[in-house]
Structure 1
């Protein structure tokens, strides 16, 4: 039996089974976790699809990373709302810790905006209704209490179009609470540590201060600004400049960019984007109510059901290919013995749009996604293997498989289409943005690997940080250089005095723009005398007999004279 190729995750014994779950495809992986499409099988042909998020094996023994993962798991298990992705189980199988979540068919909002936009039929009221439902899910998380009724003060801290999922039947789900913070979290965020995407970050979050629910409201305000104007708020502006403008409250009003934006909407947006958190909406429900009142004034009757139909129409080809892949894998999982299934390689569901180029002006996304055909998941490292277990889509394999396999993995497309998890939970405090240019077409005769140079741009904060590539220091920060296109993994390391050193693995298979923000180390404590080692000494107790003479009035004697005591020459402090 041939095995499928494509998974980049190292497989060990029983890798493709996790208790009652059989992993059938890899959806993606970040610095902390791996995400899979899985199936639970039962009698009479029962199959239930779900999504498994598993901490990476090499981190399962690290108390800090395991604590972060379990914090997310505990929080996710407590969330139960129609507008929040549902967690079915938090489990452990040996040394493997995982979260099992509901399987959703749909697309993340950033892909919808890229593919459709207003020109494709996604009207402003439709966009606003998506955000209203997102706010409803956020409010549920914000209001979450412990079992004794104590508020947990949950903050998502990464509210972006990437983390809003719209299903083909019109449901809106908030996903990826990977860096969410609850009051009872075991991992304490240090002051000065920044978590989240800069483009949607609140000013207090940018300053590394403690945040509350109003930081999420600010992020929602950025999404509203982009919905109102049809363009990104910080498009083309370096992150350091964005941080400076955020801290100073330098945000343009929507009508200064597009005079056609309704005045009522601009008022709502600017209140959500207030510099002082006290001047913003107090809760997500307050902001949602203001938007619903505005929609009533606009007289729009569109519904999220219509939004779902629109999304399903524009992603029909994606949906069909995913269905074919899943059906093929389910047959393989059913026909193989458990021991045989454990040893096969899993396909990677990747690829992006199958339509024409998408305007980045009509998006709230941080990344500029290129458009390309869907590649078969079994071709991530090869040009496809025709076997009962290699999910080679015949139509795609004949046209785009070779070039895309040579150009390297194209993540993000089907990751959003078949799952609800954004695996952006790589290193905490490190922000990475990857540009994906359209792949070069293969030669008419043969689909040979793409040759030529790619451009790599690396920017590290703070500006005085040193950048190392494979152990060799680069000349400048920021650094821009040309490198041969290849699939080899390179290590980028950044370090600066007073900051935590960070490293990241990168492949030079396409142009890369990498931004890293180093965490400032806590100030060193004041030097104190080393403690005296008393482990080898016995405590000496000296009893001093008290005089038996009658006490005199201290007012007459000038005070009480201290009793003589024996001084231990080896312990002058006794």
Structure 2
């Protein structure tokens, strides 16, 4: 099945896509909501393969292997994979939502603003990343057999720092492990980023956990000195530097660089893997000892303060984009997770422009039918039933609010139930009227003679007495010698079903009644 392009507001299983937040060479990451019963909504991140790679068996295998690997890992410094699914030909991973930015973004912002990342904070970031990577290296299967996981893409893009001061290792997409049934061998195409590769990885040799130690040492060098130890003018030069050149000591880049920290970095960057630290636990322990001598405190609180200060614009822009997208999709103002609550949606014609700038940030504008796709497609779709996000790398996102249709459905259902209840009550009341008739009247009705049936056709004798429809009338038989006489009592009229009206009793008269041949009707 060919994978379709994804739009904001589309559902992948029980997950509703909100807005794209990142895209790489293999896949894209969306901010999304997990939708449950009783108004439950939880913000998650959804990773999908790019449409052009969804039919490639190699990339599909790598994508599935990544999910199976990370699902086995449970550590606070490793991103959690919560679910794996496929919907309409789209493979997707559901991951925990990380409210933060990559170290790559932190580096770009600080260098733009001329701010140097404190060495102690750079070391703290690498300590936390080392602990997460050590947990991955030590992971075992149900039979306690090691998976042999090697991340082999430890880089600033794949280490994230949150606004609460936590550090997360992400993207095990090119990780080597035994989960896929075969270890990486020689001759396989290179996986990872050339500037952060270890020599054995760049030359296609066997790799192990010490390969990640080299990559983390490169990252630590970059964070603490502000320069890269191997970066050249192009990929070929950089690759040659990784394989053959020794990096300049950090003290040559930063005059007051701590001796203990420099020794740790140079040991991580040894060409011979046997001269490096044997595992990430040793790296973390050495770094903790090195920064323990500093007087300034270092920890999650200090990292959170620095990240929020430097990346405040990114934080405001990201949250504003998610609030706007949530309003455009008709989400309620309450939510079950830590995402900032958004208030009632703006009224028709009202505009709202968020603070800050960033990709996908804009204001409420007239409706647009251009959906957000993984490649920023701007092709309108006549089948759109929601206002889609319209985004391109050089344009702002356009959002239009629509009232959620669920309110109308609930109102219609309530009215229908109320009408049925009223009709039922009316029928019940009408039927009970007959049952509540006065007993005296019921006795009188029971003593009445049978009513005459209406004639089926007009009588041939115009002078003969006729029976009126709806009236019971009894007359004396006519004789030839005497004319017919009128009854002394009025005719009895048929009463309708229901309680009979109370009639006053007739007042006795002193005038004697004339003799009559009509029978007594009981009045």
- The TM-score with structure 1 as length reference comes to 0.56
User: How many angstroms apart in 2 are the aligned matches of 1:388 and 1:61?
Assistant: 31
Give SS of 1:64's match: helix
Q: Is 1:19 matched up with 2:16?
A: no
In the other structure, the counterpart of 1:103 is 97
Distance 1:311 1:139, change over 3 A: same
In the other structure, the counterpart of 1:167 is 162
Q: What pairs up with 1:220-299 in 2 under 5 angstroms?
A: 220-299=216-295
In the other structure, the counterpart of 1:422 is none
CA RMSD after TM alignment: 3.2
In the other structure, the counterpart of 2:125 is 130
Give SS of 1:173's match: strand
Which of residues 201, 204, 214 in structure 2 aligns to 1:208?
204
User: Can you give the 5+ residue segments of structure 2 that lack an aligned partner in the other structure?
Assistant: 333-354, 372-390, 397-523
Which of residues 165, 173, 177 in structure 1 aligns to 2:172?
177
Give SS of 2:251's match: helix
Give SS of 1:53's match: strand
Q: Is 1:301 matched up with 2:297?
A: yes
Which of residues 307, 313, 337 in structure 1 aligns to 2:309?
313
User: How many angstroms apart in 2 are the aligned matches of 1:20 and 1:296?
Assistant: 47
Distance 1:41 1:120, change over 3 A: same
Q: Is 1:149 matched up with 2:133?
A: no
C-alpha deviation, 1:317, in angstroms: 2.7
C-alpha deviation, 1:137, in angstroms: 0.4
Higher-RCO chain (CA-CA 8 Å, sequence separation at least 6): 1
C-alpha deviation, 1:226, in angstroms: 2.1
Give SS of 1:234's match: coil
User: How many angstroms apart in 2 are the aligned matches of 1:325 and 1:406?
Assistant: 14
User: Which of 185-194 and 46-55 deviates more?
Assistant: 185-194
In the other structure, the counterpart of 1:55 is 49
C-alpha deviation, 1:297, in angstroms: 2.1
Distance 1:255 1:54, change over 3 A: same
Distance 1:227 1:327, change over 3 A: closer
In the other structure, the counterpart of 1:401 is none
Which of residues 63, 66, 83 in structure 2 aligns to 1:89?
83
Which of residues 381, 386, 397 in structure 1 aligns to 2:366?
386
> Residue deviations 1:475-517, cap 9 Å, x none?
xxxxxxxxxxxxxxxxxxxxxxxxxxxxxxxxxxxxxxxxxxx
> Residue deviations 1:405-446, cap 9 Å, x none?
897479xxxxxxxxxxxxxxxxxxxxxxxxxxxxxxxxxxxx
C-alpha deviation, 1:56, in angstroms: 3.6
In the other structure, the counterpart of 2:35 is 41
User: How many angstroms apart in 1 are the aligned matches of 2:172 and 2:207?
Assistant: 15
User: How many angstroms apart in 1 are the aligned matches of 2:7 and 2:161?
Assistant: 36
In the other structure, the counterpart of 2:58 is 64
Q: Is 1:374 matched up with 2:358?
A: yes
User: How many angstroms apart in 1 are the aligned matches of 2:148 and 2:121?
Assistant: 30
User: Can you give the 5+ residue segments of structure 1 that lack an aligned partner in the other structure?
Assistant: 1-8, 337-352, 355-372, 392-404, 411-574
CA contact (8 A) 2:211 2:273 kept: yes
CA contact (8 A) 1:249 1:275 kept: no
Give SS of 1:72's match: helix
Larger Rg computed on CA atoms: 2
User: How many angstroms apart in 1 are the aligned matches of 2:63 and 2:151?
Assistant: 15
Give SS of 2:293's match: helix
Distance 1:408 1:284, change over 3 A: same
User: How many angstroms apart in 1 are the aligned matches of 2:169 and 2:232?
Assistant: 27
User: How many angstroms apart in 2 are the aligned matches of 1:39 and 1:313?
Assistant: 28
C-alpha deviation, 1:63, in angstroms: 2.8
